[in-house]
Structure 1
Amino acid sequence: MVNPTPKKEDTASSSDKSTIMSDDIHSHKFQTNRNYFIISIYALTVIAIGTIIISLILNFSYTVSAIKQVINVLSPFIVAFFIAYILNPIVIAIDTRFLLKILKIKREKLRKILAILLSYLIVIGIIAISLFYIIPELITTLSELNGTIANVSGKAVFYIQNLEETFPYIDFGIVEDKINGAIPEIISYGTNLLSNIFPTLINISVSIIRVIINIILSIVISCYMLSDKKTLKKNVKRIIYSFVPVSKANRLFSNAKECNSIFNRFIVGKTIDSLIIGIICYVLMRILHLNYAILLSVIVGITNMIPYFGPFIGAVPGVILFLVIDPIKAIIFAFMILVLQQFDGLYLGPKILGESTGLKPLWVIFGITVGGACFGVIGMFLGVPITAVIAYLLDKAITNRLEQKNITVSED
């Protein structure tokens, strides 16, 4: 039997098939793809971040203690940053307006050193002068209060001793039994307190020394921050530009500049406003012949840094103090603070602060309430500018999204 010879077409077709099969085999091999690689990196990053967040939530108590420990370690740097941030406008003003324009000092390094030194001397001098006037007033206040409290306590003891004559129908034997039964517990509590007072004093002394060291360290670090602020700013920009696209980095720096402006306007304006309110309070107290003018005016001026509620918070110590001494003076002082708060809220504050935060009163109260609940008095003060910054960023983000969608929202 003779086998037929294959035709040339058949031979060609078989070779083509083998070539196609080899191409299919090569096509199924793994090939690198940059887009898939980036997606994989993003996915792994999201999974890692999610795992960390879940573990932090599940171990919340450990997380809080770890955060507190980190904050304690970094507290000198955090305090130094706030000191440098507050003093920076003073340093700039002294450098540009006094050393450069008036004294005509051309050397930049020399101006920088002198501006930092003068700003610290000004702030420390203001604090020292304030303490020089406040401490004697405080000592006088405490001595007068001791005499007042002694008189009040003497009257209270006399009243208690004559309770049986004043209220003859009450059986005071039961009250005496209760008091006699509580005396051993009071003695035991006092004994335990005395036995633990020595370790407590040691802990307080160590804490005071640690606070003093941290304050000194914070001042030194803040000096370096003020001196090297241009270098620090440059390094931050280099890091952000190296990892973030240029358009997003520019937008980030623009937003940061506006947020810094909001903070600066609020802090500087509120400081000037509170200083004026403190001086007016002192003058009015002298005119009305109210005691403790310096001490209470300083308290009112400091607490006035808190918007809306500050003057009323500062009025509480004065009202309590005058209630012990003379209730009529307490009423006069409370009315004076009310008038002062209205003057500040309706005239002085808007003139100085203007639209420094751009917040409506509702959001100002929200910032004060939430900040006070979370961080106390400092939170009440910082809650307003922080809320203003968040509101600014949210408004800008929402505006950009609406512009991309070509949507205009009316007030109706």
Structure 2
Amino acid sequence: MKKYADHKYLKIALYAIFVIVISIFVMRVSSSTDNIFPAISSYFSSIFAVFDPIIVGLGIAYLMNPTMGFFEKQIAKIKEPQNRRQYRSNRMKSILLVYVCVFGAIFLFIKFIAPQILGNVTEILANSPMYIEMIAIWIADLEIYVREVAPIIPADAIATAFEAINLNAIVDFGINSLSTIFSTLIAGTMNVTSIILNLFISLSIAVYVLSQKETFVNGFKRLTYAILETDRAEKTIALVEESHEMMISFFVGKALDSLIIGILAFFGLWALQNPYALLLALIIGVLNMIPYFGPIIAAFPAVAITLFEGFIPAILVLIFILVLQQFDGLYLGPKIIGDSLGITPFWIIASVTIGGGIAGVAGMFLACPVVSVILIVLNRWIDKRLDDRQILLPKLEASEIGAHLPDVSKIK
């Protein structure tokens, strides 16, 4: 018994020493030069950069897999494979068709859409001095209007408030942002050889992953069964399969939904005779990929750019975007995507907010599927713990609130 107690106290002492050593290390690091954290971050970034082509290749393969499966089924309808050679041949034909579609879409975008968008951006930049002058006039007119409407407010307070609107700072911010964008584009252009090489490696990896996807799935299952107990391995594999179906349904559905919204936005803005219809439609379509916040974010540049064409055109664009958002939220989105994620609006808004704060636009887009998977795992863990403790407390869905009251829709 004394021997066991000594062993127990020894473990406690070792844990205490470990905590003290780590605490001293953290204090020394935090009190040292400020360059240590950027240096560590740069070191790990350089290591992870080596894996970029592989990660991008796996991502390309994952996103191309549904389209490849569609082509594979269509080819099999024409001629059912009779042996392994024909099966592999159909697989390679499907991959080839996917790449033809992707590169065809890129070619059409560069050939027909990109020049018009570039023309719109060039026109906006060329007119920027005029836009700045118009903003200054609007601010001056607004100050006069406030003085006339609210004479009770001291004139000095109004003047101080409008002086706080530093137009030069806003202009400098815009110029600096454009300079950063152009510097990034120039740096990317000068590093074009590395980009092309990494893209070629990624596309090659995607081809091999797609052509042999069953081997990767089999390898994952073998590894899972080797590491975990049989029961846990089966649950893990089932969770991964469910998450995969959910994410593919969300990504494909959201992409199709955003494409349709972008096309409708173009025709609507074109009908309103908006000179920047294509540019604004592209912004609306791309940002629509972000749940909830995307359409709201897209409305700001669309209305702001159109405002320089006149107040009435800007109001018409705002009304059109609001109608388009309602159509997407009430009909098109539920029709295409449905409840693929299975999470409430609260979790969607929270996940998009947190994801945007962590990883920007990419984080806002990826946050919802990731949070959905986390909630699935958490709810199953909670259910298991409650079952073990023999507590009957089922999860309450939002649609079940007020279930004790009669359903008005069923009362005749």
TM-score for both structures, normalised by structure 2? 0.71
Q: Which moved more, 1:318-327 or 1:333-342?
A: 318-327
- C-alpha displacement at 1:383, in angstroms? 0.4
Matches of 1:247 and 1:288 in 2, distance apart? 61
Matches of 1:257 and 1:227 in 2, distance apart? 19
**Contact map agreement 2:348 2:368 (CA 8 A) in 1:** yes
Matches of 1:156 and 1:350 in 2, distance apart? 40
Matches of 2:392 and 2:342 in 1, distance apart? 21
Matches of 1:145 and 1:239 in 2, distance apart? 55
| Partner-residue secondary structure (3-state), 2:191 | helix
Residue equivalent to 2:330? 346
Matches of 2:318 and 2:301 in 1, distance apart? 11
Residue equivalent to 1:24? none
Aligned partner of 1:284: which letter?
G
Residue equivalent to 1:99? 75
Matches of 1:292 and 1:304 in 2, distance apart? 18
Which stretches in structure 1 are left out of the alignment for 5+ residues? 1-35, 37-42, 159-198
Residue number among 56, 59, 62 corresponding to 1:85 in the alignment: 62
Residue number among 109, 130, 135 corresponding to 2:114 in the alignment: 135
Residue equivalent to 1:214? 198
Are 1:123 and 2:102 counterparts?
yes
- C-alpha displacement at 1:360, in angstroms? 0.2
Alpha-carbon distance change, 359 to 140 in structure 1, aligned in 2, over 3 angstroms: same
**Contact map agreement 1:148 1:325 (CA 8 A) in 2:** no
Query: Per-residue CA shift, 1:43-66, capped at 9, x if unaligned?
Result: 9xx98xx89x959x9468365444
Which stretches in structure 2 are left out of the alignment for 5+ residues? 5-10, 30-35, 138-182, 402-412
| CA RMSD across the alignment | 3.3
Are 1:404 and 2:380 counterparts?
no
Query: Per-residue CA shift, 1:70-100, capped at 9, x if unaligned?
Result: 321111111111111100111111111x110
Alpha-carbon distance change, 117 to 326 in structure 1, aligned in 2, over 3 angstroms: same
Residue number among 369, 372, 375 corresponding to 1:385 in the alignment: 369
Q: Which moved more, 1:299-308 or 1:210-219?
A: 210-219
TM-score for both structures, normalised by structure 1? 0.71
**Contact map agreement 2:355 2:366 (CA 8 A) in 1:** yes
Matches of 1:262 and 1:202 in 2, distance apart? 39
| Partner-residue secondary structure (3-state), 1:325 | coil
**Contact map agreement 2:54 2:205 (CA 8 A) in 1:** yes
**Contact map agreement 1:92 1:115 (CA 8 A) in 2:** yes
Residue number among 321, 325, 332 corresponding to 1:337 in the alignment: 321
Matches of 1:201 and 1:309 in 2, distance apart? 27
Alpha-carbon distance change, 403 to 112 in structure 1, aligned in 2, over 3 angstroms: same
Alpha-carbon distance change, 112 to 204 in structure 1, aligned in 2, over 3 angstroms: closer
| Partner-residue secondary structure (3-state), 1:217 | helix
Matches of 2:314 and 2:376 in 1, distance apart? 42
Query: Per-residue CA shift, 1:169-223, capped at 9, x if unaligned?
Result: xxxxxxxxxxxxxxxxxxxxxxxxxxxxxx9999655534322322221111111
- C-alpha displacement at 1:119, in angstroms? 0.7
Aligned partner of 1:378: which letter?
A
Alpha-carbon distance change, 323 to 385 in structure 1, aligned in 2, over 3 angstroms: same
Matches of 2:253 and 2:80 in 1, distance apart? 29
Alignment of 1:13-412 (within 5 A): 58=26, 61=37, 64-96=41-73, 98-106=74-82, 107-145=86-124, 148-149=127-128, 151=130, 205-409=189-393
Residue equivalent to 2:161? none
Matches of 1:212 and 1:398 in 2, distance apart? 48
Query: Per-residue CA shift, 1:308-357, capped at 9, x if unaligned?
Result: 11112223332232223333222221221111112211221112111100
- C-alpha displacement at 1:282, in angstroms? 1.5
Matches of 2:379 and 2:184 in 1, distance apart? 51
Matches of 1:343 and 1:276 in 2, distance apart? 11
Matches of 2:92 and 2:313 in 1, distance apart? 50
Aligned partner of 1:118: which letter?
L
Query: Per-residue CA shift, 1:342-397, capped at 9, x if unaligned?
Result: 22112211121111000000000011001000000000000011010101111111
Matches of 2:193 and 2:312 in 1, distance apart? 44
| Partner-residue secondary structure (3-state), 1:274 | helix
Alpha-carbon distance change, 201 to 117 in structure 1, aligned in 2, over 3 angstroms: closer
**Contact map agreement 1:84 1:222 (CA 8 A) in 2:** yes
Matches of 1:202 and 1:149 in 2, distance apart? 22
Alpha-carbon distance change, 142 to 257 in structure 1, aligned in 2, over 3 angstroms: closer
Matches of 2:335 and 2:134 in 1, distance apart? 50
**Contact map agreement 1:312 1:337 (CA 8 A) in 2:** no
**Contact map agreement 2:117 2:278 (CA 8 A) in 1:** no
Matches of 2:366 and 2:116 in 1, distance apart? 30
| Partner-residue secondary structure (3-state), 1:307 | coil
**Contact map agreement 1:274 1:301 (CA 8 A) in 2:** yes
Query: Per-residue CA shift, 1:280-329, capped at 9, x if unaligned?
Result: 11121122222222222122111100011111222333223222333322
- C-alpha displacement at 1:154, in angstroms? 8.1
Aligned partner of 1:213: which letter?
L
Matches of 2:339 and 2:353 in 1, distance apart? 21
| Partner-residue secondary structure (3-state), 2:308 | helix
Alpha-carbon distance change, 202 to 379 in structure 1, aligned in 2, over 3 angstroms: closer
Aligned partner of 1:273: which letter?
D
